[in-house]
Chains A and B, each alone.
Chain A
Amino acid sequence: MPSRPAPRGGLVADRTPVIAGIGLSDLPVTPHLSAPGHHALAMKRALDDCGIAKADIDGFMTAGAYDEAVVTAEYLGIRPRFIGGAMTGGSSFELFTEQAMLAIEAGHAEAVLITYGSNLLSQSGRTLGTGDISSAPAKPGASGASPGPSGASPGASGASGASLDSGSPAAPAAPAEPTRPARPPRQKVVSGPAAFEAPFGNTLVGSYAMAATRHMHDFSTSPEQLAEIAVAVRAHAAMNPAAMHRDPITVEDVLASRMIAEPLHLLDCCLVTDGGGALVITTAERARDLRQPPAYLLGAASAMTHWNVSQMPDFTTTAAARCGPEAMARAGIRPSDVDVVQLYDSFTITVLLLLEDLGFCAKGEGGSFVTGGRIGPGGALPVNTDGGGLSACHPGMRGIFLLVEAVRQLRGQAGEAQVPDCQVAMACGSGGWLSCMGAVVLGAQHP
């Protein structure tokens, strides 16, 4: 472990950073909550979870489609001395955790609150990812017509569900319907980098589909292998009472579901839901007096390769190949030490790429790695034990839910999906279009 700086004032204190409190707002469908309402409810529950006083929060970090840190801090009534709001899409919350660790260790903050909240489903309906949710008038210089929810609203870029109706394949999935009143389509005008993508009608799903096509070409990965990931995550969702979809599915169900962007089917795509979450990060010393056993933050790292997908250097390798090993090295662990993994499952291909890039298997071997139930309940490496974004909850930027579930596992509070003797957990967020990655290693024991 790196040596930790002594706190100001010369007091000897254990400034090892920990997640002391976690909270989820109501999910997955919450017409009664606004996006700020999700932030507030998740904060309240995280504070109650650990017993830290709201007045003791002196750091605040958030990101979202429309949730700037300064606006949200004021709304929540927080006057932070440490503030963060870098927008890296769905991996923002892993990045915040890394930055909060540094702030806690350095004494720049004593208790950092990280929140996320979104009413994406209730607000936008089910079109996200393959549709156009922007109602901005066409005008020169507007950048809002990039494919999917990108460009003008980069915050929604982690959102990807092709349709709400990705539940039981027994019930034929209805065509996605916009919830906004129909209006005659108008031509968008696009400038900047969007001018070199938006004219071609790519979608958010299409971006990930192009990664999948290339992976299949280079490594003979099959649609069946990708489907195994959706099946395993659904099996975990079946154990989560709060999951959106809990009925078991099979590989055949995934392959028989509607094609969205080849080779990705409807059931290869994550959901669109509402939801929010919160974390309280403080020192191990402070956590001794709190209500819950702390989850020790052993190591974290972030990296990005591009933002717009057309600039991705290698469509089969993400920045997790850089920050994953860095996070593990900082934590002093190897992939074989990890008991449970929470990965941003925007699509099945995302999970496959992250498993390879984090080093759980070699590049190109993800397809065989995920077969045979290895990542499902009771498998050698359970992945997304809360049911993930594929089946449980995906309000647009899923990164915070990965960390909440990792902490639940380390505390032994994961219910039916609890991994026995869970000592080391890993979370890896993916933001944008496989653009920005953030990896965090957490442990049940003090390092």
Chain B
Amino acid sequence: MTSPPGSEPWGIRPLPWPDALSRPFFEAAAAGRLVLQRCTVCGEAVFYPRPYCTLCAGELEWTEASGSGTVYTFTVIHQNLSGAFSERVPYVVAMIELAEGVRMMGNLVECPPRSVRIGMPVRACFVEAADGIGIPLWRPA
């Protein structure tokens, strides 16, 4: 578990509820690892978890991901009236392009919103939102 230094509890932010398909992802994240599905036929990396490859319908297997990526795009949220987020503004929501080629939505932490740039290298860190349910966050690499 590599929680961001000074990271706060997950609180009442929405909690992913793993199912049979997504459980390997959240369990790995709870253990401080980032895993991705990869097609055993064409090699395509697939995210979010699917039953079959989104490209060729081949069988998928879970593989270790590098945990490295870059910011593809982002926004700084200034208004979110949902009770789980209203006190957290401003915060960064970003699309992270992983070295493996897929993109994930996530939050950038440990950097002021003003410093975020497209193309910025980032690295996964993890927070345990509930027992056995980890969530990847991203900090400057």
Contacts and interface: CB of A to CB of B under 8 A. Distances in A.
B78 A259 contact: yes
B91 A201 contact: yes
A362 interface: no
Interface string A185-215: 1111111111111111111011001110110
A201 B72 contact: no
Interface centre among A132, A196, A258 (most CB of B within 10 A): A196
B15 A262 contact: no
Contacts of A193: 48
A178 B82 CA distance: 10
B113 to A, nearest CB: 8
Contact of A261 (B11, B72, B79, B105): B79
Contacts of B68: none
A13 to B, nearest CB: 45
B17 A185 contact: no
A199 B80 contact: no
Contacts of A186: 12, 83
Given A130-B80, A189-B17, A259-B76, 18 more contacts: A131-B81, A132-B81, A132-B83, A176-B79, A187-B14, A187-B15, A188-B15, A189-B14, A192-B19, A193-B48, A199-B15, A199-B16, A201-B85, A209-B75, A213-B75, A261-B77, A311-B48, A315-B73
A162 interface: yes
Contact of A262 (B14, B16, B78, B85): B78
Interface string B60-77: 000000000000111111
Most buried by A among B26, B47, B91, B95: B95
Nearest to B76: A262
Interface of A: 127, 130-132, 140-141, 145, 162, 176, 178, 184-203, 205-206, 209-211, 213-214, 217, 258-264, 309-311, 315
B3 interface: no
Nearest to B127: A199
Given A196-B104, A202-B105, A260-B78, A191 B85 contact: no
Chain B interface residue number, banded: 35 or more
B19 A191 contact: yes
Nearest to B135: A199
B84 A206 contact: no
A369 B105 CA distance: 31
23 contacts: A130-B80, A132-B81, A176-B79, A185-B12, A187-B13, A187-B15, A188-B84, A190-B15, A192-B19, A195-B16, A196-B105, A198-B14, A199-B129, A201-B84, A201-B88, A201-B107, A210-B73, A259-B76, A260-B78, A262-B75, A262-B113, A310-B95, A315-B95
A409 B22 CA distance: 51
Given A190-B16, A200-B105, A162 B79 contact: yes
A131 B82 CA distance: 5
Contacts of A178: 81
B81 A176 contact: yes
A161 to B, nearest CB: 11
Contact of A213 (B73, B88, B129): B73
